[in-house]
Amino acid sequence: MSTPDPAASEDIESEEAQRERSLQERLKVDRAARWPVGIFIASSIGWLVFGSLIALIASIKLHDPEFVADNAWLTFGRVRTVHLNAVAYGWLSTVAIGIGLWVLSRLCRVPIEDHRSLALAAILWNVGNGVGIWGIFRGDSTGVEWLEYPTYAAPFLLVSFTFVILTAVNLIRKRKPGHIYISQWYIMAAFFWFPALYFTAHGLLILAPVQAPAQPPINWWFAHNALGLWFTPVGLGTIYYLVPKIIGRPIHSYYLSIIGFWSLAFFYAWNGMHHLIGGPYPAFLITASVVASVMMFLPVITVAINHQLTMFGHFKALIYSPTLRFVIFGAMSYILVSFQGSLMAIRSINNLTHFTHYTVAHSHLGAYAFASMVFFGGIYYIMPRILEREWPSRWLIRLHFWPCAIGIIIYFVMLSWGGILQGIAMNRGEMPFMEIIKTTMPYLKWRSIGGTLMTIGHIAFMASFIWMVIDRRKQGSEPTLFAKRTTQDTPATNASDS
């Protein structure tokens, strides 16, 4: 990152001139990002709210099976699937593209030029998601977990992502000379990994399906790495960019960040087979993933040390900075979810948690408490800069943060607990199946409560976003913070002072 090196500072004047120049540069970059990045972010929020409402239906159905039961489109097996795809591809992937491109553009110090192709990409991406979801609703699901979009949705996504990659490559190629910051590594890698994963899996599982016994390994390799090599690196790249920006201090250790990147690249890609522990597969195949999964302690610990030491002594900033609060919530969840994931891949623990709601809780800790929270933080940071306008109300931001934070904690704690009880019950052979269902019932209801809170937060977020976009009055005003800034070493989070 381009934090000026104090030792290299020349006389005061030229430093000021330098600052002015980089400010102008950033303004240009942000203005150029307004439309392309803005469209991706705006549509991702639409999918988020849609995905949450659908999730609520699915959650209620699990403790009240008669709830909207007579409509084929709304049967559990479809709404649950629509929810997964809407949030994985509609929300997380869309926002990852938006934020990823913006961070790249900032760090390469090159304004995004391909406005037309990116607008087309955004449209195609949303059409692809819309068509895919419509397909699942009407019963055209492919039956492959995480890849349920029917074949006719894939071409839209393929073409769209091609444009996205072209833009990213363009930014990298035209980048201003200098250091390549770790966020650029993560985001570029993710932009290549994701399509490689998606089209390998889509090709071998759906277009020209391999024989059924070979499908689940590919399926779980894809599903696990959609998290590991797509949301995770974009999320980490975002954290690595935003945290130093907000607290005004460079990342603690450059070398740790490099070790973190390569160990993630090396080990994460081998994950996935642990979803098949105990299944009809040769042990060595599964062991490969178990080992890789446990080795994930390495990148996670390096990232954890690095983030926490960067933050050390600056936790006060959490009091006033909305961005930081979301991002740090996400960063801490990342540590938690990764440790948990490594443990869950160990056979004896997996034996308890596999096939239960514990796994569902775990994936929400990853996709929501980590990835979504980080991306929320990213949106709070980016929007004022590309719109040159502030967030309209700190109350709406609070109404976003607290219900979501409390909601996901309820969701995670209760469902994990219910999942453990479910696992214990399932592993007691004499326990009748109906008893297992009864055991989980209270926790399934708690899930609906947590989910309702999260949905309330998302609606507040959408309201806040729409208000910001249509109301021009907050042009260039003071940043919207939770409280007055207390420390001096923290640059503002408002548009004119990035």
Partner 1 sequence: MKGRFRFIFIGFMLTFLAAWIGLVVLPVWGLGNFKQTPDPKTGEMIPPEFTALEERGRDVYIANGCIYCHTQQVHSARNRTDIVRGWGKRRTVARDYMNHGVAQLGSMRTGPDLSNIGVRNPSETWQLLHLYDPQITSPGSIMPPFRYLFTEQPIGSDGTSADAINLSGENAPREGMEIVPTEKAKALVAYLQALKLSEYEIPEAAAARIDSKIIDSEIK
Q: How far is the CB of 80 from ligand HEC (least distance, A)?
A: 8
Other CB atoms within 10 Å distance of the CB of residue 49: 17
Residues 328-347 that bind partner 1 (CB under 8 A): 347
The residue among 64 and 471 lying less far from partner 1, judged by its C-beta, is: 64
Q: Given candidates 120, 437, 456, 492, which one binds ligand HEC under the rule CB under 6 A?
A: 437
Q: Given candidates 7, 434, 470, 483, which one binds partner 1 under the rule CB under 8 A?
A: 434
Between 355 and 394, how does the x/- string for binding to partner 1 read (CB under 8 A)?
Answer: xx--xx----------------------------------
Q: Given candidates 128, 132, 216, 260, which one binds partner 1 under the rule CB under 8 A?
A: 216
Segment contacting partner 1 by CB under 8 A, of 121-129, 279-287, 368-376, 383-391? 279-287
User: What is each CA distance from 238 to 4, 49, 91, 99, 246, in whole angstroms?
Assistant: 20, 22, 16, 8, 12
Segment contacting partner 1 by CB under 8 A, of 112-120, 174-182, 241-249, 337-345? 174-182
Task: Render 220-267 in DSSP notation, one character per residue.
Answer: HHHHHHHIIIIIHHHHHHHHHHHHHHHHTS--S-HHHHHHHHHHHHHH
Segment contacting partner 1 by CB under 8 A, of 92-100, 125-133, 386-394, 421-429? 421-429
209 binds partner 1 (CB under 8 A): yes
The residue among 188 and 481 lying less far from partner 1, judged by its C-beta, is: 188
φ and ψ of 321, to 5 deg:
-90, 115
C-alpha span between 496 and 303 (Å, rounded): 30
Between 44 and 63, how does the x/- string for binding to ligand HEC read (CB under 6 A)?
Answer: ------------------x-
428 binds partner 1 (CB under 8 A): yes
At 221, which amino acid appears? W
Between 156 and 175, how does the x/- string for binding to ligand HEC read (CB under 6 A)?
Answer: --------------------
289 binds partner 1 (CB under 8 A): yes
At 268, which amino acid appears? Y
Other CB atoms within 10 Å distance of the CB of residue 290: 20
Q: How far is the CB of 356 from ligand HEC (least distance, A)?
A: 13
C-alpha 147: how far from chain center: 18
Choose among 378, 322, 325: nearest CA to 102: 378
User: What is each CA distance from 94 to 21, 201, 331, in whole angstroms?
Assistant: 32, 20, 20
Segment contacting partner 1 by CB under 8 A, of 158-166, 205-213, 398-406, 459-467? 205-213
The residue among 67 and 281 lying less far from ligand HEC, judged by its C-beta, is: 67
134 binds ligand HEC (CB under 6 A): no
The sign of the dihedral angle between the CA atoms of 385, 376, 338, 80 is negative
**Packed helices 322-344 and 394-426: angle between N→C axes, nearest 10 degrees:** 10
Q: Given candidates 12, 213, 433, 484, which one binds ligand HEC under the rule CB under 6 A?
A: 433
